[in-house]
A and B are shown apart, each in its own frame.
Chain A
């Protein structure tokens, strides 16, 4: 939350660690990592869909 994972934040997925977990995200230019179990608690839509 404190690192800016809030509603309306734009994310870019950069890939994962070994086996894809945890994953690496870029949010407004800075990279952070998130475990899949935690990532599951967020709802993400792709920006392409949002514009349609």
Chain B
């Protein structure tokens, strides 16, 4: 009898692996993400929590036969949720998020140099009664500042949780941390320390009243302290009709007539102030040269000059460094399109692939260089701790227009692309400030407006030197200024009307400067790029395809047969270059005639009466309509409509525009009309991706619809006034 065939895997290597979920929770700017990246390596993925726009990052760590699923949660200072980011942390920790099981253990991340504030969150996390490992990051910075922490004493205070000091950027202390993680989940007998026993007593008392439902003690504790509707609602339901009164009764038994949040802060910080001298010792740090430089830079005037210089560099980078890459992408998309036209038989399929799909993908990818450069700067600012410093520096100026210091960076990033900037407003805790910032962001002149600006300015603004400046440059600068003024005025108006409210308090932690970690920066950059491609890219692409279809269909057979006939005729009289030019001219004329009778052309003619007071003929109207979903396409549509081909270089299109006339012979592109058109483009919101992202971030259709209607109306009225006043 033959031996059974070996399947090649020794038995002892087959083990049943089990999986343990660990939530990584910590203070903002504590190096939590760097630590997460180092622990999980590249073994991670990004998804979304259902219903909210917070990214859910998960990663795996395998130790022995156990697989740990780590979830990286946004940075928080306490379990009282104030922003969307903070709420998701609390919800995940308490197991309230669908699709994310309640974590089995907690990896708490706290900055060694900010133990005073870190201990607040550590108390709350320890009271959850889950196995916990504490990583104290920035051990090197603490050593430099002569801060010594007694990790064993701290662990004992936190119910026996292991505490390890690490340096997330270099990886120092990580092997010890990993073995702690492996051991910690084995412990099931961990006692739960109580830092505010009265809270637990009241929670136990209230729990007796809700017996029979599935609310946990911790849920009840949070509901007693936070007036957070989500948490309170579950308990109110469990308590029945008397719910509100009961909760209020227990609250006043716990806190008297004081606000519970204030009482909690007082109680927990009292404990911290008492315990801190036993847990850490700090010698007066020697004043090193590094410290002196940082202190000097932080003074108001050097800091302002540095900030302005940095912003100028960012602008320079976004516009100058990105251009070669953008030209390359443009050329690649154009070349690929031509290749499609030359290989496939002429017809709907070739046109769909080249003008629809390839041009659509190209119009998305072309923004990547600018977005990558801009986000590289923003991530560097974030990871060096400079971002918080910027908010501090600009707060007073921004408050004058009804925003807060934290609005500065989203607004500045708006100059590259509104989509990631609107996502960047999540750092603003106050909802009114946040929405005002979101509404102001689309006014910032982002890069997609540049091609149309460049075209119109080159064609119609004389290239004169005024004083020491160039007139064309001045007009471009003025358009940027118009965008800024529009945005600021909008924010101001909103804060005085629909978003009126008390000025929120502004307490902001200012982290120390530190060197960023290259890998973390690159991973964050890849994350943002992916978000852009997925969020904005899909919308822009879909829109490009729809616009292509509107401009392509229906095809008129007689125009096509006339084109073929004209080209045959011309071959008999011309030859060489003259022939090629004539054939191209006939092609372009035919394309223009096709577009004129396409759905897009008909739409342009249909709305012409509406835009006639602005001095626009149907061609301009059609191009503007095509640009409403995504204004990138405007120049290409103008190129086709004026029969110079969609790939025409700017000078030939500009030349064609200057000679365009109304049927009665008047020039279309007069100076008032062009200025009005420029103003319209400076103010109206033409980007479906921006609307989609506003919807996601505000969680309602009201704000995107308002933004669209308001900005379009503003652009229309502005263009109308300029044209009417300028033409009389």
Shortest C-beta distance, A3 to chain B (Å), equals 6
Question: Judging by beta carbons under 8 Å apart, are A31 and B507 in contact?
Answer: no
Q: Does A18 contact B (CB under 8 A)?
A: yes
- Name which residue of chain B comes closest to A8, CB basis: B273
Q: In the assembly, what is the distance between CA of A5 and CA of B77, in Å? A: 13
Q: Does A50 contact B (CB under 8 A)?
A: no
Of B111, B114, B261, B298, chain A has the most CB atoms within 10 Å of the CB of: B114
Given A4-B269, A7-B266, A17-B393, is A34 in contact with B509 using a C-beta cutoff of 8 Å? no
Which residues from chain B sit less than 8 Å from chain A, CB to CB? 77-78, 80, 111, 113-114, 116-117, 120, 145, 147, 261-262, 265-266, 269-270, 272-273, 276, 282, 298-300, 303-304, 392-393, 395-397, 399, 405, 503, 505-512
Instruction: List residues of A (28-48) whose CB comes within 8 Å of B's CBs.
Output: 28-35, 37-38
Shortest C-beta distance, A23 to chain B (Å), equals 9
**Chief secondary structure at chain B's binding surface:** helix
Q: In the assembly, what is the distance between CA of A1 and CA of B82, in Å? A: 13
Question: Judging by beta carbons under 8 Å apart, are A3 and B147 in contact?
Answer: no
Question: Judging by beta carbons under 8 Å apart, are A2 and B276 in contact?
Answer: no
Question: Judging by beta carbons under 8 Å apart, are B117 and A18 in contact?
Answer: no
Given A2-B78, A18-B304, A21-B396, is A35 in contact with B510 using a C-beta cutoff of 8 Å? no
Question: Judging by beta carbons under 8 Å apart, are B395 and A3 in contact?
Answer: no
Q: In the assembly, what is the distance between CA of A15 and CA of B269, in Å? A: 25
Residues in B with CB closer than 8 Å to A37 are 503
Contact of A22 among B116, B261, B395 (CB under 8 A): B395
Question: Judging by beta carbons under 8 Å apart, are A24 and B392 in contact?
Answer: yes
Q: In the assembly, what is the distance between CA of A3 and CA of B647, in Å? A: 57
**Which interface class (under 10, 10 to 19, 20 to 34, 35 or more) fits A?**
20 to 34
Contact of A1 among B262, B303, B392, B397 (CB under 8 A): B262
Contact of A33 among B114, B266, B304, B506 (CB under 8 A): B506
Question: Judging by beta carbons under 8 Å apart, are B395 and A27 in contact?
Answer: no
Q: In the assembly, what is the distance between CA of A21 and CA of B78, in Å? A: 26
Q: In the assembly, what is the distance between CA of A32 and CA of B510, in Å? A: 5
Q: In the assembly, what is the distance between CA of A33 and CA of B399, in Å? A: 15
Residues in B with CB closer than 8 Å to A1 are 261-262, 265
Question: Judging by beta carbons under 8 Å apart, are B116 and A27 in contact?
Answer: yes
Given A1-B265, A8-B273, A9-B269, is A30 in contact with B509 using a C-beta cutoff of 8 Å? yes
Shortest C-beta distance, B711 to chain A (Å), equals 31
Q: In the assembly, what is the distance between CA of A35 and CA of B273, in Å? A: 24
Shortest C-beta distance, B507 to chain A (Å), equals 6
Residues in A with CB closer than 8 Å to B111 are 30
Residues in A with CB closer than 8 Å to B303 are 17
Question: Judging by beta carbons under 8 Å apart, are B262 and A17 in contact?
Answer: no
Residues in B with CB closer than 8 Å to A24 are 298, 392, 510
Q: In the assembly, what is the distance between CA of A1 and CA of B304, in Å? A: 29
User: With contacts A27-B116, A29-B147 known, what are 15 further pairs, Cβ within 8 A?
Assistant: A2-B120, A4-B117, A4-B269, A4-B272, A5-B507, A6-B265, A7-B266, A8-B270, A17-B392, A18-B397, A22-B396, A22-B506, A24-B298, A31-B511, A38-B507
6 residue pairs bridging A and B, Cβ less than 8 Å apart: A6-B265, A18-B396, A19-B300, A22-B405, A29-B145, A32-B508
Question: Judging by beta carbons under 8 Å apart, are A35 and B506 in contact?
Answer: yes
Q: In the assembly, what is the distance between CA of A31 and CA of B145, in Å? A: 14
Q: In the assembly, what is the distance between CA of A9 and CA of B270, in Å? A: 9
Residues in B with CB closer than 8 Å to A18 are 300, 304, 393, 396-397
Shortest C-beta distance, B303 to chain A (Å), equals 8
- Name which residue of chain A comes closest to B262, CB basis: A1
Question: Judging by beta carbons under 8 Å apart, are B395 and A2 in contact?
Answer: no
Residues in B with CB closer than 8 Å to A16 are 300
Instruction: Enumerate the 10 nearest inter-chain pairs by beta-carbon distance, A residue then B residue, closest first.
Output: A28-B116, A1-B265, A31-B510, A30-B114, A6-B269, A33-B392, A38-B505, A2-B78, A2-B77, A33-B508
Question: Judging by beta carbons under 8 Å apart, are B505 and A35 in contact?
Answer: yes
Residues in B with CB closer than 8 Å to A5 are 507
- Name which residue of chain B comes closest to A36, CB basis: B396
Question: Judging by beta carbons under 8 Å apart, are B265 and A34 in contact?
Answer: no
Given A35-B506, A37-B503, is A15 in contact with B299 using a C-beta cutoff of 8 Å? yes
Residues in A with CB closer than 8 Å to B507 are 3, 5, 32-34, 38
Shortest C-beta distance, A13 to chain B (Å), equals 13
Q: In the assembly, what is the distance between CA of A2 and CA of B113, in Å? A: 17
Contact of A6 among B80, B113, B266 (CB under 8 A): B266
Residues in B with CB closer than 8 Å to A30 are 111, 113-114, 116-117, 509-510
Of B299, B503, B507, chain A has the most CB atoms within 10 Å of the CB of: B507
Residues in B with CB closer than 8 Å to A3 are 77, 117, 507, 509
Of A9, A14, A24, A30, chain B has the most CB atoms within 10 Å of the CB of: A30
- Name which residue of chain A comes closest to B261, CB basis: A1
Residues in B with CB closer than 8 Å to A33 are 392, 395, 506-508, 510
Residues in A with CB closer than 8 Å to B510 are 24, 30-33
Q: In the assembly, what is the distance between CA of A27 and CA of B147, in Å? A: 15
Question: Judging by beta carbons under 8 Å apart, are A35 and B266 in contact?
Answer: no
Shortest C-beta distance, A39 to chain B (Å), equals 10
Shortest C-beta distance, B505 to chain A (Å), equals 5
Q: In the assembly, what is the distance between CA of A3 and CA of B113, in Å? A: 14
Q: In the assembly, what is the distance between CA of A33 and CA of B276, in Å? A: 22
Residues in B with CB closer than 8 Å to A21 are 395-396
- Name which residue of chain A comes closest to B80, CB basis: A2
Shortest C-beta distance, B498 to chain A (Å), equals 23
Q: In the assembly, what is the distance between CA of A29 and CA of B720, in Å? A: 58
Q: In the assembly, what is the distance between CA of A35 and CA of B503, in Å? A: 11
Residues in A with CB closer than 8 Å to B393 are 17-18
Contact of A4 among B113, B120, B262, B508 (CB under 8 A): B120
Q: In the assembly, what is the distance between CA of A29 and CA of B303, in Å? A: 21
Q: In the assembly, what is the distance between CA of A29 and CA of B405, in Å? A: 23
Residues in A with CB closer than 8 Å to B395 are 17, 21-22, 33, 35
